[in-house]
Amino acid sequence: MTSELMSEHDYRILAATKGKVQCLPGKKEPVENCGFCIHCREFGIGTRFVKSPSLVYCTKCRITEKVDLTRVTAVKCADRQGEGFHSITSIIS
């Protein structure tokens, strides 16, 4: 995790196809996993992005909006170090 805050322009936009995103080269993850990933910031649905449910545990964000993961077309991802899926459960447990 970097010590600097990322700007919105630093995020990767991952296309969601058939319920999966290309998280890392050679590794696809189900969109459902993104909702539990520390790197996930937003989900693209239609023409807008909605905050990820994983941010409910962020003391700064406290996002609680429910996301219909069956309609997700993209994921806004903050993983710039190539870590891949990293569950929030390791932080909150």
Per-residue pLDDT, 1: 38
Overall number of domains in the chain: 1
The amino acid present at 1, given as its one-letter code, is M
pLDDT in tens, 9-43: 689 999 999 999 999 999 999 999 998 898 999 99
Residue 63 CA, chain-centre distance (Å), reads: 13
Residue 3 lies in a domain: no
Residue 1 lies in a domain: no
Residue 61 lies in a domain: yes
Which DSSP symbol is given to 7?
P
> What CA–CA distance (Å, rounded) separates 49 from 27?
24
Structural domain boundaries, residue 21: 8-82
Residue 57 lies in a domain: yes
Note the pTM of the prediction, 2 decimals. 0.77
Assess contact for 57 and 92: CB atoms under 8 A.
yes
pLDDT at 59 over 70: no
Residue 28 lies in a domain: yes
Per-residue pLDDT, 16: 96
Residue 90 lies in a domain: no
Q: Half-sphere exposure (CA, 13 Å, Cβ side) for 25? A: 3
